[in-house]
A and B are shown apart, each in its own frame.
Chain A
Amino acid sequence: MITFLFAASVVLVTLLLIIELWQESALPRHKFGLHFFVTQVWDPIAGQFGALPFIYGTLITATVSLVIAVPLGIGAAIFLAELAPARLSDALEFFIDLLAAVPSVIYGLLGVFIVVPLMRDYVQPALKNTLGFLPLFSGPAYGIGFLTAGIVLAIMVIPYIISVSREVLMSVPRDQREAALGLGSTRWESTWNVVVPFARTGIMGSIFLALARALGETMAVTMVIGNTPTISASLFSPGYSIAAVIANEFTEATGDLYLQALIELGLVLFLLTFLLNGLARLLIVMTSQRGSGTAHA
């Protein structure tokens, strides 16, 4: 029965976490209501708190990261599951797993000293010269900003997409491939028109998992996003994200309203990742039940 108490404590702690976040954010919830999410003035001195710039920054950086990570990750997963010999596939998967274990502050460190200078001196000027007519790639090149944060996030979430997609792809029954090849498809046609659609829901699941990671990521983003609450169409512009503002301002928050506004941001982040994780797990379970093999979310 002791074991029951320990198991129950897990449930208890989780409930406590939700209650704590809800109660500790009561002040701004009553004072601002839904305006909290649509106003963009963040002025602790005047007691005005609008979360829009942070929500915008979080969504933009996560979007940029997925645009880069999804094609790369799925491509690599297809190679590992369909093409590589089992030995090579397992060896590469081992390295991918190690990559997933690298702590985010290390990605931040590399972001600050490698990605930021690279972006400022080469990538951003090049993008500006070729695609500068788009509002996305205009404005001065600081190096820090939405685009850089998105790229660092992409590097971080690629291992997750690869691992889960690989497992889902490998759980697609062999006969599906053989049937396609038997009908005269090329290797790629069998992969792209048969295997990938079969594993579609599971791959979507891996993407949601990656999205949840990207939204909640703190350290790496805080170190390269620029920490300025702006809403700008340009990806070069410095910005801010929900997790970053909590990390930077929590210890300095004076007054209950300020602190609780930050906790409400934490609540928003929690709910977002909660929804995405639930959706991801559902999708992955759905595919692995259709296939013959098993995949773990």
Chain B
Amino acid sequence: MSGRLRWRKFVSGFMLTMTGVCALVAVSVLFFILGYLVYHGGKSISWSFVTKLPTPVGETGGGMANAIVGSAKLLLLASLMGVPIGFLGAIYLAEFSGSKVAFVVRYAADLLNGVPSIVIGIFAYSLVVLPFKHFSTVAGGFALGLMMIPITLRSTEEFLLAVPRALREAAMALGASKWKTIVTVIVPAAYRGILTAVLLAFARVAGETAPLLFTALGNRFWSPGWNQPTASLPAMIYAYALAPYDDWHRQAWAAGLVLLGLILVINIVARAILARGIAVPRA
């Protein structure tokens, strides 16, 4: 073996090993984050964390019950807004639209998807907070719902388009109307994919903080109804992490663990649903 060849083989082996190291570093970050959160959050999570209100400043103890309920309310509103619009919009794109309209809608959805979340917050502020003159759960839910629309729309459309033509034609040939075909054949055939899309969109907005800062604002007490400022888990993590109290830091870790756990579980479930195969016979 000549020296030149030996050198080339050495470079090849070395560089390829380095790419492996890069991959290892990237993946180990995930396990580091998880491990650290479980370690610190696990120490501070307790029954009172999920059942009690935050204590007044300076007192230790208390929990984030109001933030957990607040987050649930915000996400409910967001889903009520984002899922129908995204889902029905996707049906229009996949089943009815001409290519020109579809291009415009897709373009708008991609644009919306790329908007930084803080800018979504500004938009929700001027559209919902200003006219009603106060921060509210509704405004926060609107901001999060807005972020759900493009994610749900684009992936649902993809799964609808993946349904084989033969199924559509079979339904039509049996005399089913267009609507009947969509409701009884196409959507059931693509439902795993659609469910995955909705779950991923949900998980994505569940951790969003920036759009809530000046829509839902925050609250140290229960937020009755839908028209008051409300606490939420991500906003609490932000506020507590930057506060100068050790007890608040511990609670921020616990909240982080709850939030990350929720998001990762949803993600894994969504991917598991998809991995079991879309219930469509291959054409």
Residues of A within 8 A of B (CB): 2-4, 6-11, 13-17, 20-21, 24, 71-76, 78-80, 82-84, 92, 94-99, 101-106, 108-110, 112-114, 155, 158-159, 162, 186-189, 191-192, 212, 215-219, 223, 243, 246-247, 250-251, 262-263, 266, 269-270, 273-274, 277, 281
Residue of A82, A102, A109, A223 with most partner-chain B CB within 10 A? A109
Bound-state CA distance A11–B11 (Å) is 52
Chain B residues contacting A162 (CB-CB under 8 Å) are: 23, 26
Q: Which of B58-66, B83-91, B163-171 contacts A (4 or more CB under 8 A)?
A: B83-91
Whether A103 contacts B23 by the Cβ 8 Å rule is: no
Interface of B is mostly: helix
Whether B213 contacts A83 by the Cβ 8 Å rule is: no
A-B residue pairs in contact (CB < 8 Å), sample of 15: A3-B88, A3-B95, A3-B96, A14-B109, A16-B123, A17-B123, A20-B126, A21-B122, A75-B22, A103-B209, A105-B234, A247-B210, A269-B119, A273-B114, A273-B115
Chain B residues contacting A266 (CB-CB under 8 Å) are: 118-119, 122
Whether B108 contacts A14 by the Cβ 8 Å rule is: yes
Chain A residues contacting B104 (CB-CB under 8 Å) are: 11
Chain A residues contacting B217 (CB-CB under 8 Å) are: 251
Chain B residues contacting A78 (CB-CB under 8 Å) are: 19
Chain A residues contacting B92 (CB-CB under 8 Å) are: 3-4, 6-7
Select B123's contact among A7, A20, A95, A108, beta carbons within 8 Å: A20
Residue B134 at the chain A interface, CB threshold 8 Å: no
Chain B stretch 91-105: residues in CB contact (< 8 A) with chain A: 91-93, 95-97, 101, 104-105
Q: Which of B30-38, B43-51, B72-80, B219-227 contacts A (4 or more CB under 8 A)?
A: B30-38
Whether A10 contacts B85 by the Cβ 8 Å rule is: yes
Residue B184 at the chain A interface, CB threshold 8 Å: no
Whether B237 contacts A106 by the Cβ 8 Å rule is: yes
Chain B residues contacting A80 (CB-CB under 8 Å) are: 23
Number of interface residues of B (CB under 8 A): 81
Chain B: minimal CB distance from A154 (Å):
10
Residue B247 at the chain A interface, CB threshold 8 Å: no
5 residue pairs, one from A and one from B, having the closest CB atoms: A103-B207, A216-B116, A75-B22, A188-B12, A3-B92
> Quick one: closest B residue to A112, CB to CB?
B241
Bound-state CA distance A281–B96 (Å) is 25
Given A10-B153, A79-B22, A281-B110, A101 and B234 contact (CB-CB distance below 8 Å): no
> Quick one: closest B residue to A111, CB to CB?
B241
Residues of B within 8 A of A (CB): 8-9, 11-13, 15-16, 18-23, 25-27, 29-30, 33, 36-37, 84-85, 88-89, 91-93, 95-97, 101, 104-105, 108-112, 114-119, 121-123, 125-127, 146, 149-150, 153, 203-204, 206-210, 213-214, 217, 234, 237-238, 241-242, 249, 252-253, 256, 259-260, 263-264, 267-268, 271
Whether B207 contacts A104 by the Cβ 8 Å rule is: yes
Whether B241 contacts A6 by the Cβ 8 Å rule is: no
Chain B: minimal CB distance from A29 (Å):
15
Whether B22 contacts A76 by the Cβ 8 Å rule is: yes
Select B264's contact among A101, A110, A191, beta carbons within 8 Å: A101
Bound-state CA distance A250–B135 (Å) is 13
Whether B210 contacts A72 by the Cβ 8 Å rule is: no
Whether A105 contacts B118 by the Cβ 8 Å rule is: no
> Quick one: closest A residue to B40, CB to CB?
A113
Given A99-B30, A102-B260, A270 and B253 contact (CB-CB distance below 8 Å): no
Chain B residues contacting A114 (CB-CB under 8 Å) are: 36
Given A6-B84, A97-B267, A98-B267, A189 and B108 contact (CB-CB distance below 8 Å): no
Bound-state CA distance A281–B111 (Å) is 11
Whether A83 contacts B209 by the Cβ 8 Å rule is: no
Bound-state CA distance A247–B214 (Å) is 8
Additional 10 contacts, C-beta under 8 A, given A3-B95, A162-B23: A3-B89, A3-B91, A6-B88, A17-B115, A92-B27, A102-B260, A103-B259, A106-B256, A250-B125, A251-B214
Chain A residues contacting B111 (CB-CB under 8 Å) are: 14, 274, 277
Whether A112 contacts B264 by the Cβ 8 Å rule is: no
Chain A residues contacting B207 (CB-CB under 8 Å) are: 101-106
Chain B residues contacting A98 (CB-CB under 8 Å) are: 30, 264, 267-268
Given A3-B91, A269-B116, A158 and B26 contact (CB-CB distance below 8 Å): yes
Chain A: minimal CB distance from B23 (Å):
4
Chain A residues contacting B29 (CB-CB under 8 Å) are: 99, 155, 158
Whether A219 contacts B209 by the Cβ 8 Å rule is: yes
